[in-house]
Structure 1
Amino acid sequence: MATPAPAPADTSAPSDAAAPTEVPPVFASDEDALAAATAAYAAYEALSDSITAEGGTGGDRIASAASTTYLPDLLNGFDGFSKKGLLSRGASTYDSARLIRSSVETHGGVSIELYLCSDISAVRLFNLAGVDVTPPQRTNRIPLQVGFISSAAEPSLLLLDKEDVWSGKNFCQL
């Protein structure tokens, strides 16, 4: 009987690349992601209302609710509010929030986008003399596409990253 030939040695180099690992979700469900995003938006609105009630001063307080990318836009808005000598009274609200998408980014943070209706009907604008200067024909319900991001270090701390007026059909009209 013939002796079988020895099997060739494995000459391939060992792979340094680890098998990709699945990143665990930050939120257990889309409902949890929506709840976290709407809570973050409510906190942002409360801060924004507080800043405009004080004439736009102290706008840097909004940094705790906004991304570093979006923060300059917000600060410019508060500065413009201040330069016009305006004060707000009342609270903005939102409703009809719907999740567009929620994803874990490659860096480990989260990105969430929503549609929502911003309602400023209870907010009045006053000049420094105390005269109501709220535009009579202002749109009080505004359709927005809102985005949030988080960092890998604090993936559940959502920061407002954008507020774009929806350019399609106004889904906020009653």
Structure 2
Amino acid sequence: MLVALASLTACTTTTIGEPEPVATTSAPVFASDEEALAAAEKAYAAYTEMSDLIASEGGVDPERIEHLASGDVLEGVLATFERFRDESLTLKGETTFDSLVLQRQDSLEVVAYLCLDVTNVDVVNEAGETTVSPDRRDRLPFEVTFEVAGGQLIPANRQLWQSGSKC
């Protein structure tokens, strides 16, 4: 996921501490933590793939991502695509992620930690010059909240996670 370009995304930079156990009264939507993690991985992979595609095309037709994100994640990525269009920017490369760890799940959401990797991602202007800061961190830890919609997950909130990061 491009927008994975932390330097260009509108992600919240709130520091998240160690996870606190959260008592939930609603039954999890997934039968196991493994199922929840697999669904989160699939949802985030689809989101990053579409995000990278739209950004690689200069932010054109951003509505293609609307079924793959919601909430703050959707607002942030749409703002990024608008910037790509306004400034004639193009994404080169592919965003990846790893180290996906489940924090919790219930009937409304799944929360997981992951390491976003933009090592092989560049953003170039019309002249083909990089616009990425040389100080950019290539691996970023995030806490991602996925909404449950029809048994599927959709990334809805993403916050930079500092404490306990394994990135």
TM > 0.5:
yes
Q: How does 1:54-133 map to 2 (within 5 A)?
A: 54-67=57-70, 70-104=73-107, 110-133=108-131
Q: Which runs of 5+ in 1 are unaligned?
A: 1-21, 105-109
Q: Aligned-pair RMSD on alpha carbons? A: 1.9
Equivalenced residue count is 143
SS of 2:66's partner is helix
Q: How does 1:14-53 map to 2 (within 5 A)?
A: 25-53=28-56
Identity of aligned residues (%): 38
Task: Work out the CA distance in 2 between the residues paired with 1:124 and 1:143.
Answer: 19
Distance change >3 Å, CA 127–CA 114, structure 1 → 2: same
Structure 1 length-normalised TM: 0.75
* Partner residue in 2 for 1:143: 141
Q: Which stretches of structure 1, 4 residues or longer, exceed 4 Å deviation after superposition?
A: 22-25
- The answer to whether the 8 Å contact 2:55/2:90 transfers is yes
Q: Which runs of 5+ in 2 are unaligned?
A: 1-24
Q: Relative contact order: is structure 1 or structure 2 higher (C-alpha 8 Å, sep ≥ 6)? A: 2
Partner amino acid, structure 2, of 1:120: V
* Partner residue in 2 for 1:134: 132
Task: Work out the CA distance in 2 between the residues paired with 1:71 and 1:63.
Answer: 7
